[in-house]
Amino acid sequence: LRQLVAWGAAGAMVFGGVVPYIPQYRHIRRSQNAEGFSTYVCLVLLVANILRILFWFGRRFESPLLWQSIIMIFTMLLMLKLCTEVRVSNELNIKRRSFAAADSKDEEIKAPPKRSYLDFDLNYFWHWSKFTDYVQCVLTFTGVTGYITYLWLDSSLFVEALGFLAVFTEAMLGVPQLYHNYQNRSTEGMSVKMVLMWTSGDTFKTVYFILNQAPFQFSICGLLQVFVDIAILLQVYLYSYYPQKPVSHTVHPASTKAL
């Protein structure tokens, strides 16, 4: 019985992180509207899980946590693919934005654009028009951080700092959604089921870290993540029972609106 419970807990750790995004994915696919979901959530999780995998090479932790990171990366890429397709299909502005900026003259004559990573435009970061641009960004980040990790893998200080950075980044998972809701003064379009699953999953995960004596970085940042989840649930209550009029603000040319 004890072994079955251990296997169940490990399975929950591997796949439990993916479950909260199922209702949000279905909602976006059904409504063809991704405005209520911040794709910066995907960015945070991609960075956090890539760093966690690199941390594993320096300090071997529980294998379910490693598999959780791998599966989460693929899940976030699927979310990004859907959100990008939906946003582009609903976007009136025909101008295309890329990870590596294109030459405007090439666009005018409709020739294949000349692209260079030196043309990267920070104003349009994570607001690109093709899913392949997000993949290129993720691969570039993985390659750079992987190379740095390879060079400093023998440094225990670097490895511990990498582990803390990985779990701290994941702890900030809910912050983009928290800020997005605050900007809109509404939680419309955001799946409440997703946030409830975040809260229950993060609580379970934190307890799992403590009981299995995972690196201390995991437990501390797990608690922080639970507090952020609770803050988002408070927003749901506040904006549902005390609707607030959106505050008018100037829109940046690059569009400050979350995807």
Average pLDDT for the chain: 79
Q: Is the distance from CB of 88 to CB of 237 less than 8 angstroms?
A: no
Among 77-91, 115-129, 144-158, name the one with the lowest average pLDDT.
Answer: 115-129
C-alpha separations of 197 from 16, 29, 231 in Å: 9, 19, 14
More confident residue, 127 or 247: 127
- Determine which of 46-50, 76-80, 174-178, 208-212 has the lowest per-residue pLDDT on average: 208-212
What distance in Å separates the CA atoms of residue 229 and residue 171, rounded to the nearest whole number? 10
Q: Of residues 230 and 240, which shows the higher confidence score? A: 230
Predicted confidence at residue 149, as pLDDT, reads 94
**For 140-168, what is the mean pLDDT?**
91
Q: What is the pLDDT of residue 63?
A: 82
Q: Say if CB 45 and CB 174 are below 8 A apart.
A: no
pLDDT at position 110 is: 47
For 51, the token pair is: 């760093």
Position 169 in a domain: yes
pLDDT tens column, 156-172: 899 989 988 888 888 88
Region of residue 137 (left: phi > 0; alpha: psi -120 to 50; beta: else): alpha
Phi, then psi, of 7 in degrees rounded to 5:
-65, -40
Range of the domain at 221: 1-95+128-241
Decide if 212 is inside a domain: yes
Mean pLDDT across 32-47? 88
Q: Which of 27-31, 191-195, 248-252 has the highest mean pLDDT?
A: 27-31
Q: Is residue 106 part of a domain?
A: no
Examine residue 121 and state whether it is found in any structural domain, yes or no: no
Q: Comparing C-alpha atoms, which of 251, 80, 58 is closest to residue 165?
A: 58
Instruction: Answer yes or no: is 109 within a domain.
Output: no
Please write the tens of the pLDDT for every residue from 8-17.
767 777 787 7
- The number of CA neighbours under 13 Å toward the Cβ of 231 is 17
Helix 156-171 × helix 216-241 angle, to 10°: 20
pTM metric for this prediction: 0.71
Whether 113 maps to a domain, the answer reads no
Return the SS3 of 73: helix
Tokens describing residue 156: 């225990």
Which of 32-46, 55-69, 82-96, 148-162 shows the lowest per-residue confidence on average (mean pLDDT)? 82-96
SS3 of residue 82 by DSSP: helix
Question: Cβ(47)–Cβ(91) under 8 Å?
Answer: no
pLDDT of 258: 36
Higher pLDDT, 177 or 242: 177
Task: Give ∠ CA 118-168-55 in degrees, rounded to 5.
Answer: 75
Contact present, 170 and 225 (Cβ < 8 Å): yes
Q: How confident is the model at residue 25 (pLDDT cuts 50, 70, 90)?
A: very high
- Percent with pLDDT over 90 in the chain: 25
H-helix segments, 91-152: 104-108, 131-152
Q: Token pair of 69, please? A: 């990171």
What integer is the mean pLDDT of 218-245?
83
Tell me if 249 is assigned to some domain.
no
Residue reference for tokens 């609903």: 90
Pick from 122-131, 208-217, 229-238: least confident: 208-217
pLDDT of 76: 94
pLDDT at 210 over 70: yes
- Residue 149 covered by a domain: yes
Domain count, the chain: 1
